Amino acid sequence: MINLDEGKNIVFVADVHLRAGDTKGEKDVLGFLEKVKHLEVGELFILGDFFHLWINEPHFIKKSYQGILDKFTDLHRCGIRITYMVGNRDFLIANHYNPISDIKVYDAPQLYRLGNRTLYISHGDELCSLDRHYQIYKAFIRSPFMRLIVRLIPGRATMAIANLISKVSKRCLEKKSQASVEVPIEEINKLLTQGIDVVIHGHCHRSYKLEPEIGGSKRQVWCIGDWSKGVRFLFYDAKNKTFGLR
């Protein structure tokens, strides 16, 4: 379990889905990161799908996202630690940053200790157990075989395949029931009965807070929400020891 400093503010953000070439989107992201810089934040958690598409092709990265990556470096130099938990759109970013770089990258949920509370932090897609087609797709696309294929084929081919998958995924999403893309309460209860005090995730593209009571103790579940209607993030206020959506 990883310890967090409860004496410092923390920002959590997910599902920005910044697209390559989106000038306004990039401006919004840079503005948000600059805001983080002035919130007396000790840590920034990016919970996946920050980028709508990520491929490890140098020209694509430099052209599309270099300004954002430079801002990450700026935050790191200001003493803000950045933890990136990959999503379903940007999981290949784990191959871009090595373990000793400015950003700590995880491709699985992690447990943290914040004071006397245990936090479960993740992108959230692993919790959507009713979305069986997605879970099969996820297992395939992240398999060692597919990772090898991505490394071997040219960047342009990877881009074409990724765009095709994105279009197919969008069509499939439109046909899915709302229940299949939500986190079942059974999945939440599994975590909370294992001693988790706070669950923080994204992926579902809507923001909400739950406060279930387990064993006489009130727990918290936070779904951060996406940026389709503007900047959205979860803020841990170190002074009051509270979480809140902004």
Q: How confident is the model at residue 178 (pLDDT cuts 50, 70, 90)?
A: low
- Structural domain boundaries in the chain: 8-245
Least confident range of 39-53, 138-152, 171-185: 171-185
> What's the confidence (pLDDT) of residue 32?
98
Q: What is the pTM of this model?
A: 0.91
Q: What is the mean pLDDT of residues 195-216?
A: 94
pLDDT of residue 147: 80
The answer for residues whose C-beta is within 8 angstroms of residue 46's C-beta and 6 or more apart is 13, 14, 82, 83, 84, 85
Over residues 195-212, the mean pLDDT reads 96
Indicate whether 172 pLDDT > 60. Answer: no
pLDDT at 112 over 90: yes
Q: Are strands 81-85 and 41-46 parallel, antiparallel or unpaired?
A: parallel
Right CATH for 8-245 from 3.20.20.10, 3.30.1510.10, 3.60.21.10, 3.10.105.10: 3.60.21.10
φ, ψ for residue 156, nearest 5 deg: -65, -40
To the nearest whole number, what is the mean pLDDT of the chain? Answer: 90
Tell me whether residue 125 is exposed, middle or buried, using C-beta atoms within 10 angstroms of its C-beta: 0 to 12, 13 to 18, 19 or more.
Answer: buried
Q: 138: pLDDT confidence band, cut at 50, 70 and 90? A: confident
Reduce the secondary structure of the chain to three states and give it as a string: CEEECCCCEEEEECCCCECCCCHHHHHHHHHHHHHHHCCCEEEEEECCCCECCCCCCHHHHHHHHHHHHHHHHHHHHCCCEEEEECCCCCHHHHHCCCCCCCEEEECCCEEEEECCEEEEECCCHHHCCCCHHHHHHHHHHCCHHHHHHHHHCCHHHHHHHHHHHHHHHHHHHHHCCCHHHCCCHHHHHHHHCCCCCEEEECCCCCCEEECCEECCEECEEEECCCCCCCCCCEEEECCCCEEEEC
Q: Is the pLDDT of residue 57 over 60?
A: yes
Residue written as token pair 């229940």:
179
